[in-house]
């Protein structure tokens, strides 16, 4: 299998153009049609990290404004909004063709000790008991239209093992509650902030699909237009994305051509390391 992780690592190695100004490659990610949303969020977080020292991101909130063009680079402009005693705030604007395509606000925090609690990790099958996404998609490939087959089969930097069966080509209405295991496709020796950026990239995978499941839809049916509108992440603790993490997701609401989804990401040892939330476009195709 081709190494898809090296191109992703290259995407996160931004070129500094000037103070607070960085350039990232546009091509790559999970699709060739437009820049994958998780890629832009991860690159923006990487740009913010270039201006922060000795503090870890604890939350980010972002909006997708225009589709990104994968044929050209993305410029990231960082606003060093505030450096406080405990918290640092950064705002990042992503630009293509002179227009904003995305913006992000992120907050960084010095390490502090305090009491802790969390919800328990769901009881699910271990990743070793499940089939990988690549094998599943190879079996389904002949049912995918020729114009989408290359993207459907393209190697991913993220290894995924889904829990439960949901036929993307012929889905039936089912529960919005779903889960999967995911990790990097191979281990990397990287700094903690890079593992946050890599998890950020992966967190945009599958989340919007939770809002489609109760309606028996998927991005492959051709009956609904989908796009991420915003994306938020809260980081709760240290993570090593070389190892398996459980992504437990649900969608408590959809309506008005929008769907709301949320996720909890657990390390394999049961620690809740991140939470996500996203609203996406789920517009029926006439």
**Catalytic residue annotation:** 204, 228, 278
Orientation angle between helical segments 37-49 and 192-203, nearest 10 degrees: 160
In the chain, what is the straight-line distance between the N-terminal and C-terminal CA atoms, in Å? 39
| HEC-encoded secondary structure of 139-195 | HHHHHCCHHHHHHHHCCCCEEEEEECCCCCCCCCCCCCCEEEEEEECCCCCCCHHHH
Rg (CA), the chain: 18
DSSP-assigned beta bridge partners for residue 25: none
Cβ contact 106:88 at 8 Å: no
Task: Indicate the helix (H) or strand (E) that contains 202.
Answer: helix 192-203
Pairing type for strands 272-284 and 258-267 reads antiparallel
């Amino acid at each position: 299998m081709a190494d898809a992780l090296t191109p992703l690592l290259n995407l996160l190695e931004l070129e500094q153009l000037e103070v607070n100004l960085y350039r990232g490659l546009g091509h790559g990610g999970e699709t060739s049609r437009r820049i994958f949303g998780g890629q832009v969020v991860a690159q923006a977080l990487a740009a913010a990290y270039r201006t922060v020292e000795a503090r870890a991101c604890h939350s980010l909130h972002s909006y997708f404004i225009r589709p990104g063009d994968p044929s050209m680079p993305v410029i990231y402009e960082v606003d060093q909004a505030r450096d406080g005693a405990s918290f640092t705030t950064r705002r990042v604007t992503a630009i293509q063709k002179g227009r904003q395509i995305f913006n992000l606000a992120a907050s960084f925090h010095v390490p502090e000790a305090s009491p802790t609690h969390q919800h328990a990790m769901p009881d699910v099958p271990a990743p070793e008991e499940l089939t990988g996404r690549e094998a599943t998609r190879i079996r389904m490939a002949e049912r995918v239209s020729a114009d989408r087959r290359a993207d459907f089969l393209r190697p991913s930097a993220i290894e995924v093992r889904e829990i439960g069966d949901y036929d993307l080509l012929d889905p039936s209405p089912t529960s919005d509650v779903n889960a999967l295991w995911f990790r990097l496709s191979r281990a990397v020796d990287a700094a903690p902030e890079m593992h946050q950026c890599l998890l950020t990239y992966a967190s945009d995978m599958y989340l919007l699909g939770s809002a489609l499941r109760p309606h028996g839809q998927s991005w492959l049916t051709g009956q609904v237009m989908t796009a991420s509108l915003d994306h938020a992440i809260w980081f709760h603790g240290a993570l090593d994305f070389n190892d398996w993490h459980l992504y437990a997701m649900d969608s408590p609401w959809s309506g008005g051509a929008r769907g709301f989804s949320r996720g909890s990401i657990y390390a394999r040892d049961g620690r809740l390391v991140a939470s996500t939330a996203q609203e996406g476009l789920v517009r029926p195709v006439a």
